[in-house]
Amino acid sequence: MTELSAASLQPAPRIDAAALLAAAAPFAVALLVGAVLLLVTGRDPLGVYWLFAAEGFGGTDEIAATLSAATPVLFCAVATAISFRAGVFNMGVEGGFYLGGLAGTVAGFSLTGLPGPGLIVVELGVGALAGGLWLIVPGLLRARLEVDEVVSTLMLNFVAINLTAFLVNHVFLAPGAGNSQTPLIAEAGWLPRLLPPATLNLGFVIALAVLAAYDLWGRYTPLGFEARMSGLNPRFSRAVGIDVPGLILKTTVISGLIAGLAGAAHAAGLIHRFVAGFSPGYGFTGLAVVLLGRNTAGGMLIGAILFGALASAGTTVQLFSDIPIQLVDVLQGTVTIFGVVRFAHLLRGRRRRA
């Protein structure tokens, strides 16, 4: 116990060469798997990967598209990392993303009398609040009744997705719309674009600010220190007077706040409305990024950008070549497998400590 308490007092781990290598290894294996598939189908792997690199990072427009695609993933990664730091395996970021997106959108097309900056602040604030409120229940269940948060938050994702679909179709459906979508957010409530006409917008800057705040929180604040101690050893944390149940609830709610903020920023910055299928799985991609980046700010930023490059370049490459878009799914899925393996390892470690 003495050794563990001493380890807990050390500063939060920094990105080093070993951590970077561990984070990069899954992507290298994914490229190898993709190369085999390309060879089998008679394509040149080096040529295909060069095309991917050019479309992801080959110029200002390409980099802007990559960062735009990375923005929601980065938000969701930070939201997940907050709770993971305290040893809470929150799988509910996807649900918070949906609820925050719908809440921010409703504010954006309803409060049209507000000036632009005020409307944006309200959209983001309402979205964050919706995400935070959504995760209070699983946080309380885990903190007070020891209900497994992996199960409760995962199931609540399906509730959130279907609840928002119902609300869009029966309460907030745009007049005359032929499919499940809300009215457009007032143009004054759109997040400004950083490099028009590219879709990169102020949401990316906000995501970077949230990432920096997470890093500072983990290194220098009492709550971040307590979260790290609780994640390392809850029993020791209780013994030294830390309110572990309260800490679990706080970090879960903060995670929900960031997830809701992510959804609102995605709606206000890119889509400008809420539609059915609002997220292609950003919450789960963020989970993979956290696991591969080992909860570090630098690792999460690199992982989010790489996933963003795959998504952005994959779409463009598929449009202008005969390379199937499913290749991107194979690459992302192969990388995610490593995240799932690490997640399973962490769960086993928690059960052993219990």
Write down the pLDDT at residue 40: 81
Q: Which single residue is written with the structure tokens 């990024």?
A: 289
The SS3 of residue 181 is strand
CA neighbor of 139 nearest in space, from 201, 204, 131: 131
Which contacts of 207-215 are long-range, i.e. CB under 8 A and separated by 24 or more positions? 207/71, 207/74, 207/75, 207/78, 207/262, 207/265, 208/74, 208/301, 210/75, 210/78, 210/258, 210/261, 211/74, 211/78, 211/297, 211/300, 211/301, 212/297, 214/78, 214/81, 214/82, 214/297, 215/12, 215/297
242-252, pLDDT tens digit by residue? 899 999 999 99
Report the predicted TM-score, pTM, of the whole model to 2 decimal places. 0.88
- pLDDT one-digit tens code per residue, 324-343: 767 777 776 777 676 666 65
- Tell me the sheet residues that pair with 201: 193
Q: How far is CA 231 from the centre of its chain?
A: 20
At residue 10, the pLDDT reads: 37
pLDDT value at residue 168: 94
Which of 276, 278, 95, 277 is CA-nearest to residue 173? 276
Q: Please, which residues bridge with residue 193 across strands? A: 201
Give residue 277's pLDDT band: very low, low, confident or very high (50, 70, 90).
Answer: confident
**Dist CA 260 CA 274 (whole Å):** 13
pLDDT-derived band at 20 (thresholds 50, 70, 90) equals low
Residues 6+ away with beta carbon under 8 Å from 306:
27
Q: Which two three-digit tokens encode residue 323? A: 């390379």
> Quick check: 55 pLDDT over 90?
no
Q: How would DSSP label each residue in 7-75?
A: HHTSPPPPP-HHHHHHHHHHHHHHHHHHHHHHHHTT--HHHHHHHHHHHHHSSHHHHHHHHHHHHHHHH
Taking residues 6-18, report their average pLDDT. 44
Contact yes or no for 291/343 (Cβ under 8 A) = yes
- Residue 98, classed as helix, strand or coil, is helix
Judge whether residue 135 has pLDDT over 90. yes
Tokens of 316: 């463009």
Q: What is the pLDDT of residues 283-312, one digit of tens each?
A: 999 998 888 888 889 889 988 998 899 888
Distance CA 211, CA 59 (A): 25
Domains of the chain: 17-35+53-353 (1.10.3470)
pLDDT digits (tens, 9 = 90+) for 147-159: 989 999 999 999 9
pLDDT digits (tens, 9 = 90+) for 68-100: 999 999 999 999 999 999 989 899 999 999 999
